[in-house]
């Protein structure tokens, strides 16, 4: 079984190129959303604990593989020097059930969330979108900018975080990206005049990070940080003004911005699931005045695409460590012999 540590993933990204990885991941996501019906899926089981949530994200591609990711979100972790979100994941073959790869997924989650938001933005944002408002400059933030830069000619990022140190870190990491960086003194200043608004904050509460009156015609919103029960980022009155797209209704209804609606209201409001835009059965934006919203919670299919791509590249570049996670036995019924 292949083990992909953070160090192995770093080597894969060095060999393959960071941007190329994101481009290939977007392609993989398109392929997999395009095969939506061939996956067995379920809303992720979540366990809420004091200060956070623990989630398991399984999915079965009935043609070849099964994957799962373990992920958390503990917004107060940075206060003790720990990351808010960490993750690990596994890829298994379905014909025998044998595991093929176990991987770090903290970085992979940031990469797949960026590629996924870029895919959605490409389908929904105005083509002439140049100004990005980024609210929350934590761990995910640079990945988001790098992803969006691949699908739109982003010339300026206006950003705000309640933590000035997070903004200073973002500036340092982004200084050579070739985009004008504008630090803002609050969220309202950041979203004013923006073409795309991305919210990627961490707070386990219903917070009106974005107020309705700040949202102008023609904007595209990626609401990424409201992704579990009791955790949202948009003032509720924004939602009826938008053409709303979610990844997977059954999960988004529990975890997304739409969790505050009843089932009838949510069904009426949600225009499409992402796979319907990918396969062309529904159109993205229809005019420049429309407000579009990608109400994202992150689904197992995205992790599936990321794990498969990582497995392919690890094999291509001969990276990752081979370790026994299944006992080597000559006689499969003689498990005890593995210990002798
Ligand atoms: N939708 C998805 O697929 C997906 C995937 C990964 C992470 N997430 C979510 O994204 C969020 C961010 O993750 P992260 O790893 O970057 O966390 P992080 O803790 O590193 O960064 C979050 C940042 O948000 C800031 N913040 C909190 N409240 C704010 C507010 N009201 N206004 C402005 N800034 C605020 C914090 O100061 C922090 O710097 C989390 O909520 C996580 O659950 C979603």
**Residue 218: strand pairing partners:** none
Q: What is the CATH number of the domain that holds 131?
A: 3.40.50.720
Residues 101 and 209 in one domain: no
Residue 237 lies in a domain: yes
- With the most atoms of ligand 1 within 8 angstroms of its CB, the residue from 147, 159, 203, 225 to mutate is 225
Domain of residue 52, residue span: 2-108+300-331
Residues 250 and 271 in one domain: yes
The count of domains in the chain is 2
Residue 29 lies in a domain: yes
Q: What is the CATH number of the domain that holds 25?
A: 3.30.1780.10
Residues 10 and 77 in one domain: yes
Closest CA to 293 of 65, 125, 77, 69: 125
Residues 291 and 144 in one domain: yes
Residue 251 lies in a domain: yes
What φ, ψ does residue 183 adopt, rounded to 5°? Answer: -75, 130
Known catalytic residue: 128?
no
Residue 113 lies in a domain: no
Closest CA to 309 of 66, 89, 8, 24: 24
Residue 65 lies in a domain: yes
Residue 290 pLDDT greater than 90, yes or no: yes
Q: Residue holding tokens 């997977």?
A: 248
> Residue 63 has what pLDDT?
86
The alpha carbon of 126 is separated from its chain's Cα centroid by a whole number of angstroms, namely: 21
Could you report the per-residue pLDDT of 196-217, keeping only the tens digit for each? 999 999 998 999 999 999 999 9
Confirm or reject: Cβ of 277 under 6 Å from ligand 1.
no
Residues 89 and 131 in one domain: no
Residues 286 and 160 in one domain: yes
- Rounded to a whole number, what is the distance in angstroms from the first to the last CA of the chain? 21
Residues 84 and 140 in one domain: no
Confirm or reject: Cβ of 133 under 6 Å from ligand 1.
no
Residues 238 and 138 in one domain: yes
CA distances from 173 to 104, 130, 224 (A): 22, 20, 21
Instruction: Grade residue 329 by pLDDT with cuts at 50, 70 and 90.
Output: confident
Could you report the per-residue pLDDT of 116-154, keeping only the tens digit for each? 999 999 999 999 999 999 999 999 999 999 999 999 999
Residue 119 lies in a domain: no
Ligand 1 centroid – CA 325 distance (Å): 34
């Amino acid at each position: 079984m292949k083990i992909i540590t953070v160090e192995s993933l770093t080597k894969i990204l060095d060999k393959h190129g960071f941007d190329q990885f994101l481009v290939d991941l977007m392609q993989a996501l398109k392929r997999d959303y395009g095969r939506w019906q061939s996956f067995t899926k379920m809303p992720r089981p979540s366990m809420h604990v004091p200060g956070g949530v623990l989630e398991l994200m399984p999915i079965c591609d009935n043609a070849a593989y099964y994957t799962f990711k373990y992920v958390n979100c503990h917004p107060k972790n940075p206060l003790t020097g720990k990351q808010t979100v960490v993750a690990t994941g596994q890829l298994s073959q379905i014909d025998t059930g044998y595991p093929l790869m176990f991987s770090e997924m903290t970085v992979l989650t940031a990469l797949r969330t960026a590629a996924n938001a870029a895919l959605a933005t490409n389908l929904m944002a105005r083509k002439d979108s140049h100004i990005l408002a980024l609210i929350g400059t934590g761990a995910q933030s640079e990945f988001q900018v790098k992803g969006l830069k691949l699908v739109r000619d982003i010339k300026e990022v206006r950003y705000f975080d309640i933590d000035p140190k997070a903004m200073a870190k973002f500036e340092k990491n982004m200084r050579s990206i070739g985009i004008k960086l504008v630090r803002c003194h609050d969220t309202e200043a950041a979203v004013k005049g923006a073409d795309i608004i991305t919210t990627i904050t961490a707070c386990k509460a219903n917070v009106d990070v974005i107020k309705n009156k700040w949202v102008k015609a023609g904007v595209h919103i990626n609401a990424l940080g409201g992704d579990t029960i009791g955790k949202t980022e948009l003032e509720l009155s924004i939602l009826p003004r938008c053409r709303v797209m979610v990844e997977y209704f059954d999960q988004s209804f529990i975890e997304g911005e739409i969790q505050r609606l009843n089932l009838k209201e949510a069904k009426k409001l949600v225009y499409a699931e992402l796979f319907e835009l990918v396969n062309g059965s529904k159109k993205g934006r229809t005019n420049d005045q429309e407000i579009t919203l990608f109400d994202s919670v992150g689904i197992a299919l995205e992790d599936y695409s990321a794990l498969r791509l990582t497995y392919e590249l690890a094999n291509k570049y001969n990276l990752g460590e081979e370790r026994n996670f299944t006992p080597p036995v000559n006689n499969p019924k003689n498990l005890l012999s593995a210990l002798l």
